[in-house]
A and B are shown apart, each in its own frame.
Chain A
Amino acid sequence: MMDSIIRWKRLMLCVIGISLIIGANLFAKPALDLSTLLNQGYAYLDNWQFEDAGEIGALVQEKVGQEVDPVLRAQAYLFLAQYWFHLGDYKRAIEDAEKSIELNPKSDSKVRKFLERLKFLANLFENAKEITSEHFRFRYTDPRDEVLAKPGLLALEQAYQALSRDFNFVPQGEKILVEIYPRASDLAMAVGLEEKMIKDSGTIAICKYRRMMVTSPRALLFGYDYQTTFSHELVHFFIYSLAGEAVPVWLHEGLAKYEEMSYKGRAGELDPVPKSLLVSALRNKELITFAQMSPTFAQFKTPKQGQLAFAEVSTMVDYIRQNCGQDSWFKMINMLKQGKTDKEAMRAVCGKDFSAIWSDWQRWVLAKGWKELPGAVVMKLEFKEQEGEEEKEEIVGTEGGKAWEFVRLGDLLRDRQYYPACVIEYKKAQEIEPYDPKILNKLGLAQTLAQDYASAISTLKKSAEIYPDYSTTYVYLGNAYVAMGADKEAIQAFETALSLNPFNPSPYRSLINLYQRSGDVAKAKEMQAGLNIIRKTGR
């Protein structure tokens, strides 16, 4: 009995084994030639299917040695170089790119430029450090940028959670690479854009090549809200991972803008200035069309255009969500993936033509009753002219006009410590330009110096309300609170300032004092550690 059972078992095993072998042979992929593999690999890369691209990469590596055609081998190495580049492994990418050029010396200039870019990146990130979190690899080259890691990763993980929930999707593959570039020129070089274009349009970060490339706030005189920027780029990452290149730029940016504050639970929020720009553009019929937004937002010549475009697309996303259903844009993305145009997708989910949606959206925005702020300015990102330039808390206005004459008078008086007098001059300026952030801040600072703390706080709060991303305002606000003894509020203001410009030493110093005073030694030490990091010698 036992023997028969054993025999039966052996037979069964044989049958299963044979079935498996036959099955494996039946379902195995047919052996592809190198050329087909490369085409498929590039398609995967383009569609952000990096795991699949990785499998292709492994196959290409196997086959490349056996290939006799040098041109095809060169193409194979070029693909591998591209693959490593997407993974952020520049050294391996260079090896393969060089092999490719070696095999095909007649490679076109794009390949050589690609190699140049690789070499540049390899050199830039040669001694880079990486800090990882659950889903991210945070890579930086300058030791001072370490200060961004902790809050940045925290914001990214929060954003990851929020976006996973909102998109009902989790990107697959390795941890997401976040690269911090020390200068705007480095970012420009990395993505192959002109530095001027990057600076003019205020492009500070880009999500491309399966990673997020971000210019350090250290490269700017006043920093910027890098945590929200991380979150914004992560939205792009999610969209790319979800739909590859199928989503048009307006929807990409619209979703990114709409969702960028989701990590703080404030998705869809718009600042007063973009609101004002949008209302003004609607009234004056100066809207930027979706066609004008293509192929990239980085093409805008002024930050104002960029802000307006963001306001348009984010409100459009909100409009579609509210009027065509909460999951309408997911539906749209799916349709886009299936090859439909954005207008077709919009008609399908909203049941009306794009022109009708466009008109309805305008009415819908106007119905919100947003205020126009005459004279409100779009803050241009102030890049440092040269490395080592000190972080500033104030810039001298170069604008013309009567208001700036009063500002100049105020500055002259302030420098000579006539504080009540300079408040008068700044007020005259503010009467002419009531929403200029620089004038508001100068007035707030002057009021603090003149010991009129209540007025200073009121002025600075107004500035912060309109320009929530201007770090200087919070430093001044913190100083005013300190001067009037409101330590708690001061701490909050300085913390906000640091979240926008973590390279300004002044808030650290103030916070160390405040935390020490409040007995929070741990926080004081944390601030001291931050200060020590930003004082490190740069690369």
Chain B
Amino acid sequence: MNERVSLILSRLKGVQNRIFLMRTALGALIFLSSILFVLILTALSSRLGHGSVLLGFVFWALSLIGLVGLMILIRKSWLNLEQTALVCERRFPELNDGLISLVQLSRMLLENRADFSLAMFERHLSQVEDKLNRLRLEDASDLKRLRMPGVICSFLFVIWLTFIFFLPGFPSAMSQSVFLKGLSREKGKELLKVSKPLELYDLEIDYIFPAYTGLESKHIEGADGNISVLAGSEVEIRAKASIDAKSAWVQVLPQGGLEAVVKNKELGARMVIRQSGQYRFEAEDKNGLVWSEPAFHKINAIVDHVPEVELVEPDRDMVVNEEQEVVLRFHCKDDYGLESVSLVFMSREKEHRIPLKEFKPAELESELEYKWDLLSENFLPGEKIAYYIEAKDNNNVTGPGIGRSVTRYLEIFSPLKEHERLIEKEQELFEKLISFLGESLSEDVAKRDAVKYWDMEAELIRQFKDVRDFLVSLKKDVDKDDYSPMLVKEMMEQGLERYRKLIQEREESRRIRNQAWTVRLRADTVLRMEQDILFWDKQLQKQRMDFLLSLAERLKAGQKALSEMMKEYERTKDPALLKEIEAKLDELKILYQEFLARMGEIGQTLPDEFVNMDAMEKIGAGEVMSKLEKFRQAVHDRDIENALENAEDFMSALEQMLGQLEEGSDKMGSGISSENMMALRDGLKKIQELVAEQGRLIQETDAIYQKQMLAMEKAAEMAEREKGLLQSELDALSELLERQRDALNQMTPRSKLDAKDIQEFYQNRNQISNQLWQMLRELELAKKELSQDKFDSTVQRLGNFEKQMSQIKQNFQKLSQASPDQQNSREFESSCNSGINRASSARRGANKLAGQMKDTLSESDSARLDALADKQGEIEGKLNGLMKDLGELLAKLPVQPKKTMEQLGKAGIKMKDAQGELKLKNADLGLVAEKESKYWLEQAQDSLEQFLEKMKGRPKPSGMPMSAQMRSGGNPGQQGQDGRTGVRTENFKIPGPDENKDPVEMRKKILKAMREESPKEYEDLNRDYYKRLVQ
């Protein structure tokens, strides 16, 4: 039973909703229709020419009442079930109150409050069910009743829309009415008036255009009254009216009205068109009736467009040199004429304007070019300048239209900024190195099978190559950068070489799958990465700090200039200088702000342990800035006394801050650890000690050598006399031989001899003759050697001579027997004996001479040379030890002095030579080798010194804001400071021209030097010597 009841009740609930919806919709439609009706009335009222304030009131009253009514209606439309049942009862009387009874009883039943007979109720229920089954309860709320109000509302809506779109002035009239814009006393009076339609004909309009347009006036007859003209033009309207008007006026929307001129039946009015709108004539006749044109005429004010400016060149933002001339090409045009064009730019927070051209009247278009000399603007390096071209038109009515080109930027090239960019790139490299190290080390601890091992090795090599490639690209830029320290440049060069080698070897090792080698190479790579990371870690910090210092140098330069200006002012008291000082202070302020900003940024990237940035900021941001401000203010107020006082304060505060900054930078050290730096300095010290030791050795050897030279000179003096005697002996021997040959040639055989013996005789004679001739040649050679002080050789030749002469004597005995001339034979034999004796005597003389020349070196000196050779050996041993230590140390460094080791190696070789020569008692050759060795040691010392200097040095390119890349002084590729070449000549004796006359000594030295690589001085000497030989 309950279910059956619920079913009926749910049907009833459906009816309840429908009734609610229908009533609400009906109310809304009526409300909307009323509103639309009033809105439409505003159109009609505006057509009649009067304000519609009343309609505004009606609109708002209606809206308010309507809304309230609607709310009430909605509230009332929500019926409860019993009310709904009653509605149904009213609609369907056949229910005969059965439904309402059922609803009431069923509630009691559902709430278990039924105190009635359920059997009776069931019977009643069955009856109601029967009736309801025959009825459509939904019809109790017939939606068809909404049809008519809906149609009306839609109709009104369509009309309203039509008015909006097609009726000019309707929206404004509507807004004027609805928002009660026209509410005034006069309007109220107007509301009471009734207007009649005014007809106008023979309409004429004169257009007078603004003078700047250069357009002539225009007259139009038979116009429809609509006006379309350039804003600012004056329009004169004349028309004939259908009535005799007492007065007339023009109602202009939206501005208001103006008086019209009435002359007979002709009406006229003049107005300046400033904006679009509408107008109509209205007139009052003599009876006081108001006449209005039934429709408004349109006013279309044509706007004067602003000039169009197109910046053709530069077509992009540019980085330029502050001395450069930038060519600007631009095109500008205007619809009625250009007046002027200017270049506008922002520099140091101020707008500047350069007039480029004034145009002739009515010039509509122009294509221009302007060469902008940046030097005259005093831009600062690194400054970013926004600029555009601005053109004005000649509109002097509504004010000139201003057109602008796009804004572009010029950045004044700053080597500092470029350097800053490079530091960022170096930071990127640093990150790559760390990543690679991280990957490499992680890979070392990972346990991989063989296949994965080699795959990972390939991956690591790839990463390594990435690092290398990045370094290659970075190096190109860094090489060009004046602010990058030499140390960094060299490190990059050497690093690149090492990376290339390592990559190559790792690739090779991977190719042949040599794991042991790869492990070693990986360890080498890790070591290299570690060293390089530590280098960059410090170097980047140092470079950042140095960068800050470079900025500070600009500040210092500014400060100096300011200081000079202040001094000048104190001297001259020239008030004009104050302006300059003020400008300089503005510039300094901007510089200082930039400096502070950078300091803030850099401060975050620097580890606290290196520099107390907080402290610096405290000084920087607080004190200096406030002192600068005080100074500026005092100058600005022309409070000279204070200005001078504040200037001093500011300068000293700035100086103090910059001093602190420099101190902080010094703390940074370089990219090489202090431990290694100390070791390098130790190495340098040891080289210096070696140089000193070698110097002492040279002094000692030189003393012996000089002593020997003196002895040799004495011996040579004595030898000259002996040589003369010997020479005459040899000459006498030659004569003797000549005579012997003559005597021999005169000898004939005995006549009794047979043919065979005769033949033998002549054979013997010829043989002896040849021997004699040979001996003559030998004697000539001996003479020559004697003149060349080759005494040993002379002795040897004379010894040979003696033997040959004895042999001739023997051979001659046989010949003598076969010869009839015994007298001649005896003489020949006697001359042989004489020759032997003379030769023997000459040999002894030569032998004596040779002995004299050899004994120039005393025994003690000889022993001393031995000791010096040992000493040289000791020095060489020290050098070898040093080279070993230094080699190990340099291998750990990310960057190394290029030639030091090579130069030390050469010094070592020369030390060996010196040792050998000293052992052989050749003090002269030993001395040469010693000196050469010292030379190479000094070269090594120089190169190491320069390297250490580079490591601590901060590059300071000359002329701070200059963008020129050439360093002052020196040629490309030249090393060393201040144009000094890297060769030292001190303590190195170069033989003078007279010394070259000593052929034996010099020849020995020179020939020795020719065999081996020699210092430059020796090369020159060789060249000179050979030149003279040729001459």
Contact = CB atoms under 8 A, between A and B. Distances in A.
A421 B675 contact: no
A385 B618 CA distance: 14
A409 B607 contact: no
Interface string A220-246: 000000000000000000000000000
Contacts of A418: 434-435, 437-439, 441-442
Most buried by B among A386, A402, A412, A421: A421
A421 B534 contact: no
A494 B1014 CA distance: 74
A519 interface: no
Contacts of A400: 673-675
11 contacts: A396-B607, A402-B673, A408-B537, A409-B437, A418-B438, A420-B442, A421-B437, A421-B439, A421-B441, A424-B441, A424-B444
Nearest to B446: A420
B110 to A, nearest CB: 52
Interface of B: 431, 434-435, 437-442, 444-445, 530, 533-534, 537, 607-609, 614, 673-675
A412 B537 contact: yes
Instruction: Please provide the 8 A-B residue pairs with the shortest distance between their CB atoms, ordered closest to farther.
Output: A418-B438, A421-B441, A398-B609, A421-B438, A424-B441, A421-B442, A420-B442, A413-B438
Nearest to A417: B438
A396 B607 CA distance: 9
A405 interface: yes
A409 B674 CA distance: 16
Given A396-B607, A396-B609, 18 more contacts: A386-B614, A396-B608, A400-B674, A401-B675, A409-B437, A409-B533, A412-B434, A413-B437, A413-B438, A416-B438, A418-B438, A418-B439, A421-B437, A421-B440, A421-B441, A424-B441, A424-B445, A425-B530
B936 to A, nearest CB: 32
A408 B675 CA distance: 15
Given A400-B675, A401-B675, A405-B673, A420 B533 contact: no
Contacts of B445: 420, 424
B444 A409 contact: no
Given A400-B674, A400-B675, A421-B442, A412 B533 contact: yes
Most buried by A among B437, B439, B607: B437
Contacts of B537: 408, 412
Contacts of B674: 400
Contacts of A424: 441, 444-445
B888 to A, nearest CB: 14
B673 A420 contact: no
Contacts of A402: 673, 675
Nearest to A414: B438
B439 to A, nearest CB: 8
B545 to A, nearest CB: 16
B498 to A, nearest CB: 18
Contacts of A425: 441, 530
A424 B434 CA distance: 14
Interface string A384-403: 01100000000010101110
A29 B158 CA distance: 121
A47 to B, nearest CB: 46
Nearest to B610: A398
Contacts of B675: 400-402
B434 A413 contact: yes
B534 A408 contact: yes
A409 B430 CA distance: 12
A368 to B, nearest CB: 36
Interface in A403-441: 405-406, 408-409, 412-413, 416, 418, 420-422, 424-425
B591 to A, nearest CB: 29
Contacts of B444: 424
Interface in A355-407: 385-386, 396, 398, 400-402, 405-406
A401 B609 CA distance: 15
B523 to A, nearest CB: 12
Contacts of A396: 607-609
A396 B614 CA distance: 17
A395 to B, nearest CB: 9
A324 B442 CA distance: 61
A343 to B, nearest CB: 47
A413 B441 contact: yes
A418 B608 CA distance: 23
A425 B440 CA distance: 12
Contacts of A386: 614
B923 to A, nearest CB: 48
Contacts of B530: 405-406, 409, 425
B699 to A, nearest CB: 41
B534 A409 contact: yes
Contacts of B607: 396
A406 B441 CA distance: 13
Contacts of A413: 434, 437-438, 441
Contact of B441 (A385, A398, A405, A420): A420
Nearest to B531: A405
A401 B435 CA distance: 24
Contacts of B441: 413, 418, 420-421, 424-425
Nearest to A398: B609
B919 to A, nearest CB: 44
Nearest to A399: B609
Contacts of B439: 418, 421
A422 B614 CA distance: 30
Contacts of B434: 412-413, 416, 418
Nearest to A406: B530
Nearest to B441: A421
A302 B607 CA distance: 25
Interface in A119-166: none
Interface in A465-515: none
A405 B534 contact: yes
A416 B439 CA distance: 11
A416 B609 contact: no
A412 B530 CA distance: 11
A420 B437 CA distance: 11
A455 to B, nearest CB: 12
A421 B439 CA distance: 8
A385 B673 CA distance: 28
Contacts of B435: 416, 418
A41 to B, nearest CB: 48
A392 to B, nearest CB: 11
A364 B614 CA distance: 51
B550 to A, nearest CB: 26
Nearest to A402: B675
A405 to B, nearest CB: 5
A345 to B, nearest CB: 49
Nearest to A424: B441
Nearest to A421: B441
Contacts of A422: 438
Contacts of A408: 534, 537
B428 to A, nearest CB: 13
Nearest to B673: A405
A518 B534 CA distance: 46
Most buried by B among A386, A409, A413, A420: A409
Most buried by B among A398, A422, A424: A424
Nearest to B609: A398
Nearest to A397: B609
A87 B534 CA distance: 58
A434 to B, nearest CB: 18
A118 B675 CA distance: 51
Nearest to A412: B434
Interface string A307-351: 000000000000000000000000000000000000000000000
A406 B675 CA distance: 13
Contacts of B533: 409, 412
A413 B608 CA distance: 19
B272 to A, nearest CB: 69
Nearest to B431: A416
Nearest to B440: A421
